[in-house]
Amino acid sequence: MLSRVANSIYWMCRYIERAENVARFISVNLNLLLDMPSEEGKHWKPIVMTTGDQEIFEKKDPGYNQEAVIRFLTFDRNYPNSIVRCLAAARENGRSIREIISSEMWEHLNNFHLELSTERSLSMALQDPHTFFKIIQMRSHLFTGLMDCTMSHGEAWNFARIGMMMERADKTSRILDVKYFMLLPQASLVNAPIDNIQWMAVLKSASAFEMFRKEHHNITPNKVAEFLIFDNQFPRSIRHCITKAKICLHRITGTPQGAAINLAEKRLGRIQADIEYTDIEEVIETGLHEYLDNMQSRINEVGGAIGTTFFNIKPCSEATGSEQ
């Protein structure tokens, strides 16, 4: 398939997954507020810090309150990672490949984008944020479901899945990291009751609370981190995302699992191997935040490698073409 098309479908899915995960970040706090109304106002800063974009936020509006953060992360057209901007980018990519994706996917994405741009969406997000961000997540799921059920699972689909999985792995690591930023001011609170509630909020934001409970009965930081990083079966764990992305990548290239020919396969394979041969104790020893930080850079590098391997193809003769 055309490199440009592969690039667009990959980014379309990354952006949709990103939009969904911004909604999940915000939900961490909304979940916390349900359990501990007294915490209101304290945790909006960590949410913005998790995104890594607090500088941009502070330049605009130094007040960390619910409305300002929701407006910034959801509706700010000047902030490239806001939900509206992610959806606009996803739609733009989708529009350039609408003959490749199914019309169900396109119509849903188009509608998702159009509805988010209405006044009604803004007032709903401010007045009833729980429902609003739930809807954002459900629309993203609906898109994923449509992609799964209405589009052939060929090369394009595999690129789409890689985009989605890489983005999800990155964002799960950041959701887990929210907790690190929350604890920053008061390290002494580790294992206090508030600690538990915060970890529960983290799990819920990754839709992982119930699945976690089936595996583990009590919530400890190590177990939560282990679940979100290493669990084999939970579809938002980093390990799961990396494994799935790798399967799709090998389907595209035809390289047997276990072998690696191009840079993308090598880098992704290395992350997978590292995850398989690391355990949570080692992670804690390194420091959870440091580990996650490193993971995020490595996921980025895979993204770069996918770009050079598939999207920036140049003919060999181009360099000499003008001299002939």
Q: How far is the CB of 149 from another protein (least distance, A)?
A: 19
| Residue 150 CB contacts under 8 Å (≥ 6 apart), including other chains | 102, 104, 105
Q: Which is nearer to another protein, 263 or 284 (CB)?
A: 263
248/126 Cα distance (integer angstroms): 39
Six token digits for residue 64? 């960390």
323 interacts with another protein by CB under 8 A: no
Q: Which is nearer to another protein, 30 or 249 (CB)?
A: 249
Distances (CA, A) of 174 to 50, 184, 246, 316, 318: 6, 15, 21, 40, 42
221/196 Cα distance (integer angstroms): 8
Q: How far is the CB of 76 from another protein (least distance, A)?
A: 17
DSSP category for residue 153: S
Contact region with another protein (CB under 8 A), list: 1-9, 65-73, 141-149, 295-303: 1-9
Q: Which of 2, 138, 189, 273 binds another protein (CB under 8 A)?
A: 2
Distances (CA, A) of 66 to 108, 149, 197: 29, 37, 19
Query: Of 20-79, which residues contact another protein (CB under 8 A)?
Result: none
# residues contacting another protein (CB under 8 A) = 29
Q: How far is the CB of 111 from another protein (least distance, A)?
A: 5
Q: How far is the CB of 64 from another protein (least distance, A)?
A: 31
Q: Which of 55, 119, 285, 318 binds another protein (CB under 8 A)?
A: 318
Q: How far is the CB of 114 from another protein (least distance, A)?
A: 7
Q: Which of 127, 152, 297, 317 binds another protein (CB under 8 A)?
A: 317
Q: How far is the CB of 286 from another protein (least distance, A)?
A: 36
Query: Of 142-161, which residues contact another protein (CB under 8 A)?
Result: 155, 159
Q: Which is nearer to another protein, 10 or 44 (CB)?
A: 10
| Residue 30 CB contacts under 8 Å (≥ 6 apart), including other chains | 129, 130, 133
Q: Which is nearer to another protein, 9 or 225 (CB)?
A: 9
Smallest CA-to-CA distance from 303 within 273, 267, 272 is with: 267
Smallest CA-to-CA distance from 40 within 73, 64, 71, 75 is with: 64
Cα-based angle 314, 320, 324 (whole degrees, multiple of 5):
135
Q: Which is nearer to another protein, 114 or 259 (CB)?
A: 114
292/174 Cα distance (integer angstroms): 8
Site pattern 193..232 for another protein (x: CB under 8 A): ----------------------------------------
Smallest CA-to-CA distance from 303 within 147, 164, 97 is with: 164
- Phi, psi angle pair for 209, to nearest 5°: -60, -50
Query: Of 77-136, which residues contact another protein (CB under 8 A)?
Result: 88, 92, 95-96, 98-99, 103, 106-107, 110-111, 114
286/316 Cα distance (integer angstroms): 45
| Residue numbers at the binding site for another protein (CB under 8 A) | 1-4, 6, 88, 92, 95-96, 98-99, 103, 106-107, 110-111, 114, 155, 159, 252, 310-311, 313-318, 321
